[in-house]
Amino acid sequence: MSDDHDHHDGHDDHELRVSKIRSGTVIDHVRGGQALNVLAILGIDGSDGEEVSVGMNVPSDRFARKDIVKVEGRELSQDEVDVLSLIAPDATINIVRDYDVIEKHRVERPDLVEEVLSCPNTGCITTGDEPVSSRFEVLDDGVRCGYCETIVRDGIPSLIDT
Amino acid sequence: MSHSLSATQNGEIQGLGKSQHERMRHDHLITSKQLSRADIETVLDRAAEIDADPSAVADRHANSVLGLLFFEPSTRTKMSFETAMKRLGGSVIDMGSIESSSVKKGETLADTVRVTEGYADALVLRHPKQGSATMASEFVDVPLLNAGDGAGHHPTQTLLDLYTIRENAGLDDLTIGIMGDLKYGRTVHSLSYALTNFDTRQHFISPESLQLPRDVVYDLHQQGERTQIREHDSLEEILPSLDVLYVTRIQRERFPDENEYQKIAGEYQIDLETLEDARDELTVMHPLPRVDEIAPEIDDTDHAAYFEQAHNGIPVRMALLDLLLENHTRGDTDE
């Protein structure tokens, strides 16, 4: 499969805002304003030296405004990107090699997300000093803590464990 | 009856349904949500057998030790587990108060249960944090029974409630009213989940500020195709249709204002006059302790089942310990 990954929204001037990458992952059609949360969920903070480009509130045909995240040198797996469905359900993932998109997929809602979110319930056992990582069941309209069973429908980005 | 196997994501359930020995096949008892109708019936049938002839099981677990880990004060539940284990011939060890234990030194719950599982054949845990029993069960191999995890679950209370309902009114084609503090009352949530396994009409009666949490309502709807759920702010309109009225205490500390508390709590108290419109067969239950939700004049009527309910904690906990210890002793050869 070959595609010019910067031009599929019909905005020829994208490369002026966010440069093309040679090899890596482009996460496109992220809801406007969520790009930094996408990076947080993926645990990418630049400290490993990855080249990361972020476009925020870029004009889009599909949404009025979208965010776009490009990570040079890292091909993200389906499992890694599925967790993005919680905050960027419409995101498309382009795996790029030598400037060509070789794989393109949508995020799918996983059944379970582990070690990504922290429980907002202060009475939950996972909020103490116990040697336990968080686990959330993914519901149609939110997430549910696997320990205290608290359901969170709004404000999921604020629970991202950074 | 279904023989299907299933597992939860955290693996707390090994298998559901009746085996050829009609044993309950869980490793742990964490929440009433994990219990199928077959599981509930297995426990209640065993409890009824024990109730009818307690001497038949007097030495059944003579070499077994039950560990009690109570991180919150409890008198009834703790005493009831202690008695149940002793009447099975077993013995009990007790962590004692938190002040005198390693917890005071900052030990995690995960470490506490990993150490104590080496001392006991089964553990009973009460802990103030929600989800504590689920977490603890992930660290131990011996059966773990949840005796209350904060605002979470209290499944052994649920099973003794179900036993009392079955003895007095039957569990199918049941119309039950559950009244009082439905927001914070974990016994109410656990009981409601369990009742979705049966053909029941559940009426929830509470002031608006103490209604069932929306998450619980969501779960009840998800879980119970056979259950009808209605919410009311007054008992009057549905009292005549009820087989069982389950009353819970409205706590003073839920209200910032004393007058407000007096006014609201008063509307959810029952006496002989309240029950004039009730069916003769109405069974009145309460998890106890009560304050003034049920007038003492009801105690001597045929409606009152709350002391019987408390006493039922013994055969039901004996049945649970018996089933879980039996499972555990048989170990991996089960499959």
Could you tell me the pLDDT band of residue B20, with boundaries at 50, 70 and 90? very low
Confirm whether A9 is domain-assigned. Answer: no
Q: Would you say A55 and A18 are in contact if contact means Cβ atoms under 8 Å apart? A: yes
Confirm whether A135 is domain-assigned. Answer: yes
From chain A, the residues in CB contact with B128 under 8 A are 123
Confirm whether A1 is domain-assigned. Answer: no
Q: Which residues are CB-neighbours of B219 under 8 A, at least 6 positions away?
A: B33, B193
Query: What domains lie within chain B, and their CATH numbers?
Result: 32-152+313-327 (3.40.50.1370), 155-311 (3.40.50.1370)
Give yes or no: residues A97 and A18 share one domain.
yes
From chain B, the residues in CB contact with A129 under 8 A are 106, 108
For B197-252, what is each residue's pLDDT tens digit? 999 999 999 999 899 988 888 888 887 677 889 999 999 999 999 999 999 998 88
What is the arrangement of strands in the sheet containing B283-285, beginning at the earlier edge strand?
A: B227-232, B200-205, B174-179, B244-247, B283-285
Q: How far apart are CA B312 and CA B130, in angstroms?
A: 26
Which residues of chain A approach chain B closer than 8 Å at the C-beta? 111-112, 121, 123-132, 135, 137, 145-151
Residue to mutate among A130, A138, A151, A154, with most B CBs inside 10 A, is A130
- Asked if residue A47 belongs to a known ligand binding site, the reply is no
pLDDT greater than 80 at residue A96 = yes
Domain holding A74, by residue range, is 14-106
Select the residue of B10, B109, B130 nearest A124 (Cβ to Cβ): B130
Q: Which CATH number does the domain housing residue A147 bear? A: 2.30.30.20
- In sequence order, the β-bridge partners of residue B244 are B176, B283
Give yes or no: residues A34 and A101 share one domain.
yes
Q: How far apart are CA A68 and CA A50, in angstroms?
A: 16
Min distance B155 CA to chain A CA atoms (Å): 15
Q: Which CATH number does the domain housing residue A27 bear? A: 3.30.70.140
Tell me which of B100 and A89 has the higher pLDDT. Answer: A89
Confirm whether A6 is domain-assigned. Answer: no
Confirm whether A7 is domain-assigned. Answer: no
Min distance B233 CA to chain A CA atoms (Å): 25
Tell me the average pLDDT across A101-119.
Answer: 91
Domain count, chain A: 2
Tell me which of B182 and B251 has the higher pLDDT. Answer: B182
Nearest-by-CA chain A residue for B110: A130
Sign of CA dihedral B148, B30, A118, B217: negative
Min distance A155 CA to chain B CA atoms (Å): 16
ipTM over 0.85: no
Q: Which residues, numbered 177 to 216 in chain B, qualify as contacts with chain A under a Cβ-Cβ cut-off of 8 Å?
A: 215
Give yes or no: residues A121 and A91 share one domain.
no
Q: Cα dist. A66→A9, A108, B291, B335 in Å? A: 11, 19, 59, 53
Q: Is B126 among the residues known to form the active site?
A: yes
- The single residue of B18, B26, B46, B154 carrying the catalytic annotation is B154
CB contact under 8 A, B108 and A129: yes
Tell me the average pLDDT across B85-101.
Answer: 89
Q: How far apart are CA A66 and CA B118, in angstroms?
A: 56
Residue to mutate among B134, B139, B146, B193, with most A CBs inside 10 A, is B134
Q: Is B76 among the residues known to form the active site?
A: yes
The token pair that represents B138 in the structure block:
């992930």
pLDDT greater than 50 at residue B7 = no
